[in-house]
Amino acid sequence: MYLVYGRRELGDWKPLYQVWFSEREGRWLCTCYLSAFGFRRRREICTHIAAVMLYRRYRKALQRLENKRVYVVEAKVECRGRLEADGELYAKPLVEKSGGVAKLTSFASPRYRIVVISAHRRITVKCSGHVIYEAEGEEVPLAVAKFLVEKLYEGEE
């Protein structure tokens, strides 16, 4: 059983509608079918049932994403060009400071802390087309990989 908020702009007269699947009838039913107008359109799917169907599909898609397994690698790399990887690449510049001021070496030889999320076990990171890092990724759920990316950017706003 699902409770769906009624919406005046869609022609609803009540604040809440109940939607449930009837095993006996083998289809979805809604309390809006109990009104005079709803009884006439009982063979159709009302907006309340459509909302429940969409919600159930959305929830199922999210569960599939949460259970999806990916490979992830974390590393520190140096690159003066463009970083790229065979997966989603997240990079955070590492700036060395001396007395609160960035050292010149931070700009001459930029270093990055990276996280790569990939569908492939073997992960390669390139700088301007040249391989600078290769590693076997660790297999983790996608949710864990996204958490590692959040940790990478933690404290930045």
Residue with tokens 């400071």: 97
Contacts of 4 (CB under 8 A, 6+ apart): 16, 17, 18, 19, 30, 48, 51, 52
Query: pLDDT of 1-54, one tens digit each?
Result: 999 999 989 888 899 999 999 999 899 999 988 876 655 666 788 899 999 999
- The pLDDT of residue 157 is 42
Give the ranges where the chain is alpha helix by DSSP (H): 36-40, 47-67, 104-108, 142-152
Query: pLDDT of 66-119, one tens digit each?
Result: 678 899 999 999 998 899 999 999 999 887 766 666 555 556 678 999 999 999
